[in-house]
Structure 1
Amino acid sequence: MARYRDRAAAADALIGQLPDDIGDDWLVLALPRGGVPVGAPIARHLGAAFDVLILRKVGAPGNPELALAAVTGPGPDQIAYNDALCVQLGMDHARVHAFAAPQIEEVARREALWRGVRPAQPLQGRKVLIVDDGMATGTTMAAAVQAVRAGGATRIAVAVPVALGDALDALRDRDLTVICPWPEAPLGGVGQAYAAFPQVPDEVVRAALEDAASGSGTAP
């Protein structure tokens, strides 16, 4: 498969593969920063609400790729625990919560930087499309799905332009709709799927959220 020109072209590819039942009654959640220039055009195309999911994984001691929990904020309802792994490692929720303190602080910092005083979109009872610019291992997206489900979403879909190797295996058996035009990509990194893959600055994330809040629809 040919590389995407940039994230905007990747968004177009995803739009072309969206199922008919994903429409303006969905919430599009982008994983910042790279998912924002992909998710914002999709939300505009659908006429759907747009937001970002500010998430940090809580890695297991000695193996940070194993996610003990996914943190989206400081409250007890904003930590989605991987109970099977917690039991396996002998860690109860209180211990994981204490272990998550640095990630909770980082989520708060990013919330203030990107969102300011604007509240996040509620997830309870919503249909949610989670978007990123690619999946390398699948662990971050799996944590995002876990957090969105814990937030009360009634249906979840995932849209990524590219997934490396067996990354999509992380989403199996999770009752999801997955849209991925380039699965099992034999690449060394997500950036190799793009001709242009610049860092996404904080200003782009802030502008996308401001545009979504105002309904102007001019996000990148």
Structure 2
Amino acid sequence: MTTDPIFFKNREVAAYRLLDILPIDKMKLEDWTVLSTSYGGYPIAKIIAKELNAQLDMMFSKKIYAPNNHECEIAIVTEVEEVLIHEELVKVFDISLDLIYGQSKFLYDNELSYEVNKFRDDRKLTNLNEKNILLIDEGLNTGLTMMACIKSAIKLGAKSISVATPVIPSASIQTIESIADDLYYVEKLDHFISINFYYDTLNELKFEDIETIKKD
């Protein structure tokens, strides 16, 4: 019996592995904004943004779970009120759209707005016109969050949108590539388990942690 290997010692190692495959020299000639799409992706995004001399920020989002299964993501709502629904799961669980949109509004009003305002000192992410956006995460599970963030960046008028992640399920590649300009990854896996399975150390980060990392 074989097991999948650990690819990355920690987020810092994952960041430098990503830098090895990104066209850094070409990107340095352009103006980029690096957005992390999760708390866990923020330390990686910070290292890459520094290498690119790019602006660093977050694309905040919240997961909506199935009512009877709090580990099953059925939708994502982002800080620009973009709601992306996993239609197949919604049908399987027979979940009403009213419930999903009601929950997304609750999360936006009670969690997203607070985090966005606190992180950016009451400044919202409202305009990405003519900007090259690099979306970064520590890995993709279903790809639902990344898809929601890509659509949010499109909604905000981004000039181009690229995605970079250390590890990705093979099944998510075509979906991401269908709406992103470029996709960069270090490892792709046909039989994906979970993101933390491929890191030696991957401590959970919370909102308070990224506030601290931002100030470092």
Question: Distance in 1 between the 2:155 and 2:98 partners?
Answer: 17
From 191, 195, 202, the counterpart of 1:197: 202
CA pair 60-203 structure 1, distance change in 2 beyond 3 A: closer
Please, which runs of 5 or more residues in structure 2 have no aligned partner? Answer: 92-96
**TM-superposition CA deviations, 1:154-175 (whole Å, max 9, x none):** 1000000001342323313214
Q: Is the 8 A contact 1:162 1:185 kept in 2?
A: no
From 59, 62, 70, the counterpart of 1:56: 62
What amino acid is the match of 1:135?
Answer: L
Give the alignment's TM-score, normalised by structure 1. 0.76
Question: Distance in 1 between the 2:84 and 2:191 partners?
Answer: 29
Give secondary structure in 2 for the equivalent of 1:16.
helix
Matched, 1:80 2:87: no
Matched with 1:215 is none
From 33, 51, 59, the counterpart of 1:45: 51
Question: Distance in 1 between the 2:38 and 2:84 partners?
Answer: 22
What amino acid is the match of 2:52?
Answer: L
Q: Which stretch of the first structure deviates more once superposed, 168-177 or 193-202?
A: 168-177
Matched, 1:17 2:24: no
Matched with 2:94 is none
Q: Share of identical aligned residues, percent?
A: 23
How many residue pairs get aligned? The number is 200
Matched with 1:183 is 188
Give secondary structure in 2 for the equivalent of 1:181.
strand
From 99, 102, 105, the counterpart of 2:106: 102
Q: Which stretch of the first structure deviates more once superposed, 181-190 or 28-37?
A: 181-190
1:66, distance to aligned residue in structure 2 (A): 4.5
Alignment of 1:152-167 (within 5 A): 152-167=157-172
